[in-house]
Structure 1
């Protein structure tokens, strides 16, 4: 006699397949949005351009994203795990000194913001257009700092101090590496190293 399968046993398989389809479509739109933003700029790009690049439909786009600002925000969100991992390396320093901080800023932090200049530019324009995206962005920074686990960030004042430090760096990188404002790299790294070494030292002293 053939084994009778419970009606519920196939549901997880179907749900898993649908979830995979949803994730693949979501990722495809994000990849295509990055290409479109890089080619046309945030203001020049339209939802229609992204839909065409993804070989999709407007209905599918709006099933995943609210609008152009939302997909720009989601595109920036894709960078957050690697950004959090980068900031977490601070707690892995063999010791906290200015030279180690400067090397980390030079080799990892500035490289990160350069690699993700398309995402940074898109989300900055999206924040200007949509207050909800701006609120999400600030929360991303706070969450990244919290997950990085820096000493002193377990209390509100330390978390705020560290979040402002990251926000300040991000604004600098936006104007310098994305918008093209000229700076002497070595001079700027020296200033950043002084600032970050001092602030990280203060955070370490304020640990609960």
Structure 2
């Protein structure tokens, strides 16, 4: 009985993984809005009903993808948080690593960005993830002392600026001023990492 249960769970997990893999492929080909639940199910070799056994909606599926990459996003911001007192070139190097991460997951980021405009639940979860990443930047937040809300606001605003900039720079191909944009982003982060709170 136990082995049967384990086999069933394994098959269920394999089906879920096929659905996510098929969704990623179709998001890359058709975009988030162009890839419907039925097409994703067909591509995964299952029925539409099976899709809804695993995901309540396409929004839930893209949120699942978001949760998959969240640990890497939080780890990246933790490494940025270690750069308190760094030079601009150190932050540019971090930004180059982060840009490579966006390129590696470009299909996922593109689907998430499209979903943000259409799915309130995805937008709320994305903002929640940014809040969790901001809270992981303990060194920066500690520089604000007791002003925790102010610290979180500064970090979130700078994160959202990076997020939106990389959407246009890396996903939409508006990279004609790539070097200048990376330096401007680095200077924004450097101000947060190095400038005493009372001077902001």
Q: Which residue of structure 2 lines up, in the alignment, with residue 146 of structure 1?
A: 135
Aligned equivalents of 1:35 and 1:166: distance in 2?
A: 28
User: Is the Cα contact below 8 Å between 2:169 and 2:178 reproduced in 1?
Assistant: no
Say if 2:114 is the partner of 1:125: yes
SS in 2 for 1:38: helix
Say if 2:36 is the partner of 1:46: yes
Q: Which residue of structure 2 lines up, in the alignment, with residue 199 of structure 1?
A: 192
User: Is the Cα contact below 8 Å between 1:88 and 1:150 reproduced in 2?
Assistant: no
Count of residues in correspondence between the two structures: 194
User: Is the Cα contact below 8 Å between 1:152 and 1:205 reproduced in 2?
Assistant: no
Which residues of 2 match residues 50-199 of structure 1 at below 5 A?
Answer: 50-93=40-83, 95-106=85-96, 108-152=97-141, 155-199=148-192
SS in 2 for 1:152: helix
Aligned equivalents of 1:20 and 1:141: distance in 2?
A: 32
Deviation of the 1:83 alpha carbon: 1.2
User: Is the Cα contact below 8 Å between 2:84 and 2:193 reproduced in 1?
Assistant: no
Residue segments in structure 1 that go unaligned for 5+ positions in a row: 1-9
Aligned equivalents of 1:114 and 1:28: distance in 2?
A: 23
Instruction: Please report the TM-score for the alignment, with normalisation by the length of structure 2.
Output: 0.85
Deviation of the 1:14 alpha carbon: 5.5
User: Is the Cα contact below 8 Å between 1:37 and 1:118 reproduced in 2?
Assistant: yes
Instruction: Please report the TM-score for the alignment, with normalisation by the length of structure 1.
Output: 0.82
Say if 2:13 is the partner of 1:20: no
Q: Which has the higher helix share?
A: 2
Aligned pair partner of 1:34 in 16, 24, 28: 24
Aligned equivalents of 1:21 and 1:145: distance in 2?
A: 37
Aligned equivalents of 1:46 and 1:193: distance in 2?
A: 39
Residue segments in structure 2 that go unaligned for 5+ positions in a row: none
Deviation of the 1:112 alpha carbon: 1.1
Compared with structure 1, are the counterparts of its residues 94 and 201 closer, same or farther at alpha carbon in structure 2 (3 Å cutoff)?
closer
Deviation of the 1:17 alpha carbon: 4.5
